């Protein structure tokens, strides 16, 4: 049954020449079964106006490169519109999929009640960055807490590789026009839809729809921590998330946190600050 389903892997980029090749390679490996068979995928790059070599690298490795207006929700929606897969997997350019990820996604869809989901996450530190024991301890607890929260609440940040059935994505109207938190907003709307929808498994008993968290972790870059400092980034995330949850509009969030770069910049450091 797996070979009948096409998965579109949509990767959003903006000046990602350092990361995009390894991300695309990981996406291709993610479609390989234990027997070596390759499951059908298409890799879509949705670029927001890169001025480095991102486009050139992507054209050699990906199936399609789409030129989209800059902005995460715009690029995500443009990538989805330009794709043809039955399942959409949204991937950040600095996030590495685990081997067999596509197999695991398709396995979850054996259950007709599954609408979508995401992955567990681990942080991928640059090998040249030195960290104190205190930072390592904080990161250990933060990583564990984050994965527990995701598994419990089924609310996925974008770098947890959100996936969803195309029909469900279209029913939700895609990602909302938001400067930030478009990933949490999408997860929230998916959860609300999940509560309303029922499904009919083989036993013909109606059940509630489900959102799943796959335990095989994606690896995502720590470049924000490396650039701005560990505790500063956590503080920014905390305030941005909770102000959004309390109802602050996206334009006011953008004005208040105008120094926060939605697209992380390149980092060349050998230490991490608090």
Q: What is the pLDDT of residues 154-187, one digit of tens each?
A: 999 999 999 999 999 999 999 999 999 999 999 9
Provide the Cα torsion 153, 157, 160, 163; round to 10°.
Answer: 80
Report the pLDDT value the prediction gives residue 201, as an integer from 0 to 100.
Answer: 66
pTM: 0.91
Report the pLDDT value the prediction gives residue 133, as an integer from 0 to 100.
Answer: 84
Q: What is the mean pLDDT of residues 199-220?
A: 83
Lowest mean pLDDT segment, chosen from 21-25, 182-186, 229-233, 270-274: 270-274
C-alpha dihedral sign at 194, 197, 202, 204: positive
Reported as half-sphere exposure (CB side, CA atoms, 13 A), residue 156 has a value of 30
Banded pLDDT at 80 (limits 50, 70, 90): very high
Q: Is the pLDDT assigned to residue 271 strictly greater than 50?
A: no
Report the pLDDT value the prediction gives residue 264, as an integer from 0 to 100.
Answer: 61
Report the pLDDT value the prediction gives residue 3, as an integer from 0 to 100.
Answer: 58
* Residue, of 8 and 261, whose pLDDT is higher: 8
What's domain 2-222's superfamily in CATH? Answer: Spore Coat Polysaccharide Biosynthesis Protein SpsA; Chain A (3.90.550.10)
Per-residue pLDDT tens for 118-140?
Answer: 999 999 888 777 778 888 888 88
Q: Is the pLDDT assigned to residue 269 strictly greater than 70?
A: no
CA dist., res. 160 & res. 25, Å (int): 18
Query: Looking at residue 160, what DSSP letter applies?
Result: G
Q: Is 153 exposed, middle or buried (0-12, 13-18, 19+ CB in 10 A)?
A: middle
Encoding tokens for residue 180? 């930030």
Q: Is the pLDDT assigned to residue 194 strictly greater than 70?
A: yes
Task: Tell me what percent of the residues of the chain surpass a pLDDT of 70.
Answer: 92
Task: Tell me what percent of the residues of the chain surpass a pLDDT of 90.
Answer: 66
Report the pLDDT value the prediction gives residue 274, as an integer from 0 to 100.
Answer: 45
Mean pLDDT over all residues of the chain?
90
Pairing of strands 95-96, 198-199: unpaired
Q: Is the pLDDT assigned to residue 273 strictly greater than 70?
A: no
Q: Is 68 exposed, middle or buried (0-12, 13-18, 19+ CB in 10 A)?
A: buried
Report the pLDDT value the prediction gives residue 1, as an integer from 0 to 100.
Answer: 52
Q: Is the pLDDT assigned to residue 268 strictly greater than 60?
A: no
Q: What is the mean pLDDT of residues 201-215?
A: 80
Banded pLDDT at 226 (limits 50, 70, 90): confident
Let me know: does 199 contact 207? Beta carbons within 8 Å. yes
Banded pLDDT at 191 (limits 50, 70, 90): very high
Let me know: does 91 contact 28? Beta carbons within 8 Å. no
Q: How many CB atoms lie within 10 A of CB 201?
A: 11
Let me know: does 105 contact 89? Beta carbons within 8 Å. yes
Q: Is the pLDDT assigned to residue 263 strictly greater than 70?
A: no
Encoding tokens for residue 118? 């995401």
CA dist., res. 163 & res. 86, Å (int): 11
Q: Is the pLDDT assigned to residue 189 strictly greater than 90?
A: yes
Encoding tokens for residue 93? 């350019």
Q: Is the pLDDT assigned to residue 206 strictly greater than 70?
A: no
Q: Is the pLDDT assigned to residue 54 strictly greater than 50?
A: yes
List own/partner pairs for 170-178 with CB under 8 A and 24 or more apart: 174/73, 174/76, 174/77, 174/80, 175/72, 175/73, 175/76, 175/77, 176/73, 177/73, 177/74, 177/250, 178/73, 178/250
């Amino acid at each position: 049954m797996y070979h009948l389903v096409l998965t579109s892997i949509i990767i959003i980029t903006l000046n990602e020449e350092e990361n995009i090749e390894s991300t695309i390679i990981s996406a291709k490996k993610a479609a390989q079964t234990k027997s070596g068979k390759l499951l059908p995928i298409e890799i879509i790059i949705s670029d927001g106006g890169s001025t480095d070599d991102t486009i050139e690298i992507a054209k050699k490795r990906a199936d399609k490169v789409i030129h989209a207006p800059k902005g995460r929700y715009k690029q995500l929606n443009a990538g989805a519109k330009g794709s043809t897969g039955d399942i959409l997997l949204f991937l950040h350019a600095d996030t590495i999929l685990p081997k067999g990820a596509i197999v695991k996604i398709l396995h979850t869809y054996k259950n007709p009640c599954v609408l979508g989901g995401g992955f567990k996450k681990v942080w991928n530190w640059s090998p040249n960055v030195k960290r104190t024991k205190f930072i390592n301890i904080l990161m250990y607890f933060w990583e564990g807490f984050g994965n527990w929260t995701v598994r419990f609440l089924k609310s996925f940040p974008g770098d947890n590789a959100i996936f969803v059935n195309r029909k469900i994505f279209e029913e939700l109207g895609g990602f909302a026009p938001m400067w930030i938190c478009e990933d949490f907003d999408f997860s929230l709307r998916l959860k609300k839809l999940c509560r309303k929808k029922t499904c009919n498994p083989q036993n013909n008993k109606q059940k509630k729809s489900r959102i799943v968290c796959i335990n095989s972790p994606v690896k995502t870059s720590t470049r924000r921590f490396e650039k701005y400092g560990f505790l500063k980034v956590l503080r920014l995330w905390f305030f941005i998330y909770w102000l959004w949850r309390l109802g602050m509009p996206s334009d006011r969030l953008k004005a208040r946190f105008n120094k926060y770069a939605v697209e992380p910049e390149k980092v060349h450091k050998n230490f991490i600050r608090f």
